[in-house]
Amino acid sequence: MSKYDMTQIAVGYIDKTDIDLAKKVAQQWQLQYIGDVASVNKQSNLLFLLQVHFQQVELIKLDEPKLGAIKVDFVEGPVAHRRKFGGGRGQDIAKAIGLKHGFTPHVLDATAGLGRDSFVLASLGCQVTMMERMPIVAALLENGLARAKIHQEVADIVDRMSLIYASSIDDMTLANAPDVIYLDPMYPHREKSAAVKKEMRVFQALVGEDLDADNLLIPALKLAKYRVVVKRPSYAEPLNNKAPSTSIKMKKNRFDVYVNQAIPKAMT
């Protein structure tokens, strides 16, 4: 759950061309609007800043500015590389959700985060519903989707993606009849693990750990038509201590697969 309260985060703009969007973001997510980001220095209570930078919404951790800004980018960066060179339907996440010829499921990503796995699944043809309960993360996702829709290279992919701002634990049924539910809850890092990436340090400071993650599994199993897929660190116990039907193991992580019913052999 979150470590912050909403009074510790504000919205500002870098360039005057972004004033309207900054005001809109602040109003939509019920956040304090501070105008020009330079005025953040007068706000000692703030921990985070959502800054609008040429129509791009970015998250800054104010006490560690060197960590840089977090944004959702479905056009360039890691997702672009993964889209082009990630291995297509041969990659582990595709196998875990059951992608095969004639079966391209509707996936609910019930812990959407920055949306990267959602984008990968959408790039493989899946209809993907993202659910995110943290308003700041949902704001980043919404802006990332809006920016991506005007890029011809990925517009058809993000057209298969939609966002629901809600808690998956309480409101998972808001997603319309998903075939597969995908869960990737935040998990506490081992104290001796390698330094967490800069981006993840900002994200974890904002979001904290999903201490209630075990509560995701039962509603997911009730709702998913075919299966629930849970991404876990290789050293972590299964979600809710429930053994999966099968697991796909990778170097640092694994996908635990809970099968409700078999995927039909021939689907049109």
Count of domains in the chain? 2
Query: For residue 80, is pLDDT > 90?
Result: no
Same domain, 212 and 133: yes
Specify binding-site residues for S-adenosyl-L-methionine. Answer: 116-117, 132-133, 167-168, 184
Integer Cα distance of 97 and 74 in angstroms: 21
Same domain, 90 and 58: no
Of 45, 67, 89, which residue is a domain's last? 67
CATH code for the domain in which residue 105 is found: 3.40.50.150
Query: For residue 110, is pLDDT > 60?
Result: yes
Specify binding-site residues. Answer: 116-117, 132-133, 167-168, 184
At residue 194, the pLDDT reads: 47
> Among 58, 30, 34, 28, which Cα is nearest to 46's?
34
Query: What is the average pLDDT across 174-202?
Result: 77
Please give the mean pLDDT across all residues of the chain. Answer: 89
Residue 46's domain spans which residues?
6-67
At residue 1, the pLDDT reads: 43
Same domain, 169 and 195: yes
- Per-residue pLDDT band at 192 (split at 50, 70, 90): very low
Query: For residue 188, is pLDDT > 90?
Result: no
Query: What is the average pLDDT across 173-191?
Result: 86
With b meaning 16 or more CB within 10 Å and e meaning fewer, what string describes 204-235?
ebbbeebeebbbbbebbbebbebbbbbbbeee
In a domain, residue 132? The reply is: yes
Integer Cα distance of 21 and 53 in angstroms: 10
